[in-house]
Amino acid sequence: MSSIVMYHNPRCSKSRQTLALLQERGIEPHIIEYLTTPPTPAELTQTLAALNMQPQELLRTGEDDYKTLDLANFDGTNDALIELMCAHPKLIERPIVIHGEQAKVGRPPEAVLAIL
């Protein structure tokens, strides 16, 4: 298994571009299609730490779930938000590439090159 992990959504153009960028460099990451296999709260917490981000920074604010759950007015704990993100994985920004203790969101796709 690759030491590089990618949270991937094959329907997302940025996710596909990021995967292609890695593959062009001979890297075959371990792919996690996070919409079908969402991260656990512990995994997402660890990923957030590697990204050096707060849960709110990883939210996709344009998603219907964001509006339905009224997350613009969320006043709960980070742990509660992480639980929601795992229960509704469409809320998680993509793609995320993890290499060791570091991670980057592939927006733009070239951003992930900083951790390779």
Report CA-CA distances (Å) from 64 to 59, 68, 72, 86: 12, 6, 12, 15
Q: What is the pLDDT of residues 73-116, one digit of tens each?
A: 999 999 999 999 999 999 999 999 999 999 999 999 999 999 99
pTM of the model: 0.94
Report how many domains make up the chain.
1
DSSP string, 40-78: PHHHHHHHHHHHT--GGGGB-TTSHHHHHTTGGG--S-H
Q: Residue 65 half-sphere exposure, CB side, CA atoms within 13 Å?
A: 13
Name the active-site residue from 12, 31, 113, 115: 12
Token representation of residue 100: 């060791």
State the CATH number of the domain containing residue 92: 3.40.30.10
Q: What is the pLDDT of residues 11-29, one digit of tens each?
A: 999 999 999 999 999 999 9
Our answer to whether residue 12 is catalytic in this structure is yes
Structural domain boundaries, residue 63 = 4-115
- What residues form DSSP beta bridges with 105? 96
